[in-house]
Amino acid sequence: MRPRKPALRPGKPMVRRGVPVGSPFRLLLLGASFALTGYAGVRLLADDWFAVAVWFVGAALLHDLVLLPLYAVADRSVVRGLDATGHRDRALYVRVPAALSGLLLLVWFPLISGRVERRYRLGTGLSPDGFLARWLLITAVLFGAAALLLALRLRRATKQRPPATH
């Protein structure tokens, strides 16, 4: 005999009993990710744990106190500008390429700015020239792809609209 499902009563939230554990594959994947994170943490903190801790705290403070307000203001200005023209729904076509471009800038900033040119050359034997040009090219491609996608969606929307009768 199968257990009955509890009847839904208006005003009473349904309470689940038991612990949701997920599938065995999900549990294995979660355990493996915890093991990898633990291993990386032990290796990272083995040499100079205090400098690593200072770096993490500094990065968190820089993000929360400087970068977050900057890109929140930038996003608000984009949304207000598009809202003024009546096209607020198109903000995503600016947000996504800007976020990806910003992420690439954050990751590759030392090489884009040229601050670690000598160190990069000694470590890899490669020239660090061209990182700025490549980042600008990738940024242009991201915004161009977003503009092309917007144009295609607008074209499809105008084709599906019935003609106006006069």
pLDDT computed for residue 30 by the predictor? 93
Q: How many CB atoms lie within 10 A of CB 74?
A: 14
Same domain, 78 and 104: no
The answer to whether residue 7 is domain-embedded is no
pLDDT tens across 90-124, in order?
Answer: 899 999 999 999 999 988 998 998 888 888 888 88
Contacts 24+ apart (CB under 8 A), 22-29: none
Helices and strands, counts by H and E, the chain: 6, 0
pLDDT computed for residue 58 by the predictor? 92
Give the side-chain half-sphere CA count within 13 A for 12: 7
Q: Residue 104, exposed/middle/buried by CB under 10 A (0-12, 13-18, 19+)?
A: middle
Same domain, 80 and 96: no
Residue tagged 């594959």 (tokens): 25
The answer to whether residue 77 is domain-embedded is yes
Q: Specify the 3-state DSSP secondary structure of 39.
A: helix
Residues 6+ away with beta carbon under 8 Å from 143: 97, 101
Write out the residue range of the structural domain in which residue 102 sits.
Answer: 91-155
Final residue of a domain: which of 88, 111, 141? Answer: 88
Final residue of a domain: which of 69, 88, 107? Answer: 88
Same domain, 84 and 126: no
Number of domains in the chain: 2
Q: For residues 62 and 71, what is the distance between their CA atoms, to the nearest angstrom?
A: 13
Same domain, 109 and 82: no
The residues of the chain scoring below 70 in pLDDT are 1-19, 163-166
Same domain, 103 and 149: yes
pLDDT tens across 45-56, in order?
Answer: 888 888 888 988
The answer to whether residue 75 is domain-embedded is yes
pLDDT computed for residue 147 by the predictor? 96
pLDDT computed for residue 85 by the predictor? 86
The answer to whether residue 5 is domain-embedded is no
